[in-house]
Every structure is written in C-alpha cells, then in structure tokens.
Amino acid sequence: MPEQAFPTIRAGLVGYGLAGQNFHAPVLSAVPGLQLAAVASSQPHKVLADWPQAQVVPSLEDLLAPALALDLIVIATPNAQHHPMARAALLADRHVVVDKPFTLDANQARELAQLAAARGRVLSVYQNRRWDADFLTLRDLLAQGAVGRPVYLESHFDRFRPQVRERWREQAVPGAGLWVDLGAHLLDQALQLFGAPDSLQLDCATLREGAQVEDHFHALLRYEHGPHAPLRVVLHASTLAAHAAPRFLLHGTRGSYVKHGVDPQEDALRAGLRPGGADWGVDGTPGEWVQADAQGALHTQPVPNQRGDYTRYYAAVRDAIRGQREAPVTPAEAVALMELLDLGRRSAEEGRALEVGSI
C-alpha cells in the first residue's frame, strides 16, 4: 500500500538529553509515517528550538493524556526510569520503544515483555548499532562465508575521555557504568552474529582517577557447541584508549578482516545533522581483507563499507505497529540480552567464567 494510505503514527518522546535529542528525535522524524508530536522535558526551550511543531509537556503522565492521542512512547531517560515508564505506557495501551539498556535487570525485562504481550502492544529496545555501516559489512562477510569458518572476533569500542564527567552515566546510581552502556551494544551485535555463547567471563575496572563506576570492561564469550564452534569472541571497551584498537578484528579459516574507525552516524547526529542525503551513513574508512593464496602468500584488499542507516530501526517499528512485521528488536531478544548483561555482572563479581545455562 502507498505510504499515504496509512494514518500517521504520533510519537511522544520522554527525555531530551543526549539520547533523546541526538539519537531518537532526529532519527524518528526522518521516517515517513512517524511524527514527533510531543516531548516530555523540563527544558521546553531546548526542544522547541529543534522541533517547533512539537508540543512540550512536563511529564510522561501528560504524554499519556487522551487529548494528545499518541500511539507510540519513546523512553530516553536515565536507565533506572526505563522499567516504570515503559510499564506505565504499556498499561495505557501505547506502543513503546525503550533506549538501551532495556531495564536494570532481566526480571524487569521479563515483566515488561509479558505485559506487552498481554496488552497486544509493540515493545522494542533501541539497538541502533545493528545498523552501523561496519557491523552491516561484517555481518555480510560472515553470511557470504568470505572468511571461511570464523574462529576469533574482537569487537572494540574504545574512547579517550580521561576526565570523569558530571553526568548520571558516570555516577554510582542504578543503571550506570560502561558494561550496560556500551556492553549492551557489543553484546547485542555478538548475539546477532553468532547467537548465545556457552559461557561468558567479564572483567570490569575503574581506571580513571575519581571514577565511581566501571569505565573499562573486557568480556570473553566462548562458543564450544553449535555451528560456530569452536569460536572465541572478545568484547572490549575503555575510556582511556588514546590509540583505539580496531573496531572489528575477525580471523577465520580463509583469512582475516580488520576495520578501524567507527560508524559516522553518531558524530553526525551530535553535530546537529539529520538523517538523509547522499552521504548519510557512508563510512569512508574501508576495512581490509587479508587472504592467503595457494602458495601461502598473504594478499590484502580493501573492503568498502555498506551504508549505515539508523532510520531503518524506526521504519521497522512503524511497520510493526502497522502489523506488517515483528518489532526490529523483539521483547524476547531484549530479555535474552538483559539476562547476559546480568550474567556478566555476576561473572565480574565472582571472578570466573559462568555458563550461560546458569542464568
């Protein structure tokens, strides 16, 4: 059916901080069939400077008022508020998107998944990095069998931020810390590529002076059974990496793939740009593919990146609300990820690898 045949889906956004302003409002608004109709924020001037057509209200309760007639609620608040706000929105029979991490723990995640099923509402988590240019390229290489059987993957998200900043993500509050912040992305990507591992071992540390929560983690996922075994996957993030490691390093039985640099969409959104245009999501730093010939000599060739596009997430949410497909990140996937994030915390506390079946 043509786009104009469908009614516009009216969305309300809760929170206009980093996530709301940069990752949700501009991406959602770039998708045909979705409208950012209202925002709950304590900074109306900030919202209206970007979205003068939106109605600004003080709270989620105001967004849920029948007069606004919103179909979708997007929750981009501090992590501790995800569960109660998503629950309230589902009980009001709204569809819900929650910024990652989904909840504070797997028990909260399971409760929301059950509630969404009971109310017949779409519930999804914003795992936008499934649509990073480099990840799409890596996934395609694996699907093509270009590297043969994969045996080892490193996935890094390194930054250099030596000063602890005054923000909730770096304070000793529920839902803070690098593991649930960046680990939620890296772990989700690993699950998309290879499924659940057999065991998980996590090491966390607070390395910066004055750090209140972990600002470094190193996770090892072991795959001992199934189609990808034997396989090792390392997930790593640090805030003290002035010289970043490759974003991806993949070794397989037919060669290796390495990719430096990160998808450009986050920087573009932070700079105030909006999705669209010929260059959106284009990562101009190609990866490298290293392969041995019949004589054992190694040859390197560039691997152009696929085009990244976060709007594909919200387009899929739109289609799920229309009943045309399932959510782009299903409640079952969201619960499974929270279970592994919980298991990682347990592993770090106990200082040992834990079987995924022990969740």
Same-domain check for residues 108 and 214 = no
Does residue 87 form part of some domain? yes
Same-domain check for residues 153 and 299 = yes
Say what the alpha-carbon torsion angle 246, 127, 328, 3 is, to the nearest 10 degrees. Answer: -100
3 state DSSP class of 46: helix
pLDDT at 358 over 60: no
Same-domain check for residues 285 and 196 = yes
Question: Of 70, 87, 75, whose CA–CA distance to 24 is shortest?
Answer: 75
Confidence band for 357, pLDDT divided at 50, 70 and 90: confident
| Tally of domains in the chain | 2
Does residue 300 form part of some domain? yes
Same-domain check for residues 204 and 109 = no
Same-domain check for residues 122 and 145 = no
**Predicted model pTM:** 0.95
Same-domain check for residues 47 and 68 = yes
Same-domain check for residues 230 and 319 = no
Does residue 180 form part of some domain? yes
Residues 293-336 pLDDT 10s: 878 888 999 999 999 999 999 999 999 999 999 999 999 999 99
Q: What are phi and psi of 106, to 5 degrees?
A: -70, -30
Q: What are phi and psi of 89, to 5 degrees?
A: -70, -40
What's 188's domain CATH number? Answer: 3.30.360.10
The parent domain of residue 289 ranges over 133-262+276-306+340-358
Same-domain check for residues 282 and 324 = no
Residues 129-152 pLDDT 10s: 999 999 999 999 999 998 999 999
Does residue 333 form part of some domain? no
Does residue 270 form part of some domain? no
**Number of other CB atoms surrounding residue 45 within 10 Å:** 8
Same-domain check for residues 99 and 222 = no
Does residue 184 form part of some domain? yes
Quick check: 233 and 194 in contact, CB under 8 A?
Answer: yes
Residues 99-122 pLDDT 10s: 999 999 999 999 999 999 999 999
Does residue 269 form part of some domain? no
What's 31's domain CATH number? Answer: 3.40.50.720
Same-domain check for residues 153 and 26 = no
* Burial group, residue 291, by CB count within 10 angstroms (0-12, 13-18, 19+): middle
